[in-house]
Amino acid sequence: MIRAAKGGPFGWVLDAYIGRKFRSAFRGLWLRGELPADGVGRLVYLNHSNWWDGFVLHQLGQVTGWDGYCLMEEENLRRYRFLARIGAFSIRRKDAVSSVESLRYAKELLRKPRAALYVFPEGEHRPFGVLPLQLERGVELLARVSKVECLPIGIRYAFFEHERPDVLLEVGTPHPPGPLSVFQDGLEAVVKRLAAVTTLEGFSRKVSGARGVAERWDAARGMAR
């Protein structure tokens, strides 16, 4: 098992790099709903449609002050070992002994103040908005073992009237551990709400990104006036 190794000079460099990378690629990170404000550990589970998802969660952690960790398939983490520096740790899903070790480690992490453990229960990239979602039982088991609050959050990458895409996060209703159907309902609810979004009304921008040509032109016109 590969454990998270957050912090240190390399970790700080990665924090800055990911922030710049995100801001150059997107107009911003937008959020709708109420994020829990207390400092207890929680399990955050999300849909998984894009390579950018991990970087989005890194930015969410910067905004919220959460001490974020992410469960990742060991084969992938070995390829991108640097991700351990921002909180990734591994699991071998087809190895029972390894899975138990990872679950115990996750439970240990969730005892930390303001810890947030991010899990993608679909297990792989799936197209956004295709329902029903296909969830694996690991999220249910992890929640039962850890006995922490669970929070569904939906992620959508959307082009509206601008040159660059916006990243939308929809926060669902926190709930205690329960059967897989509870996680299914929670995640499908936020995905459905996001799929219906056609404007940014009701969202608040948490991270500002790059402006497109039209936005820069409008700003220049405004200054000229």
* Mean pLDDT comparison of 31-45, 50-64, 178-192, highest-scoring range: 178-192
Q: Is residue 174 domain-resident?
A: yes
Q: Is residue 124 domain-resident?
A: yes
Reported confidence tier of residue 163, pLDDT bands at 50, 70, 90: confident
Q: Is residue 96 domain-resident?
A: yes
Q: Which long-range contacts (CB under 8 A, 24 or more apart) does 174-178 make?
A: 174/36, 174/42, 174/149, 174/150, 175/149, 175/150, 176/149, 176/150, 177/140, 177/143, 177/144, 177/146, 177/147, 177/148, 177/150, 178/140, 178/143
Cβ–Cβ under 8 Å, residues 76 and 181: no
| 184: containing domain | 8-224
Contacts of 177 (CB under 8 A, 6+ apart): 140, 143, 144, 146, 147, 148, 150
Q: Residue 192 maps to which CATH number?
A: 3.40.1130
Q: Is residue 20 domain-resident?
A: yes
Mean pLDDT of the chain: 91
User: How many domains does the chain fold into?
Assistant: 1
Q: Please state the pTM of the whole predicted model.
A: 0.92
| Residue-wise pLDDT tens digits, 78-128 | 999 999 999 999 998 878 787 889 999 999 999 998 999 999 999 889 999
Q: Is residue 28 domain-resident?
A: yes
Q: Is residue 29 domain-resident?
A: yes
Reported confidence tier of residue 218, pLDDT bands at 50, 70, 90: low
Q: Is residue 148 domain-resident?
A: yes
Q: Is residue 3 domain-resident?
A: no
Res 204 pLDDT > 70: yes
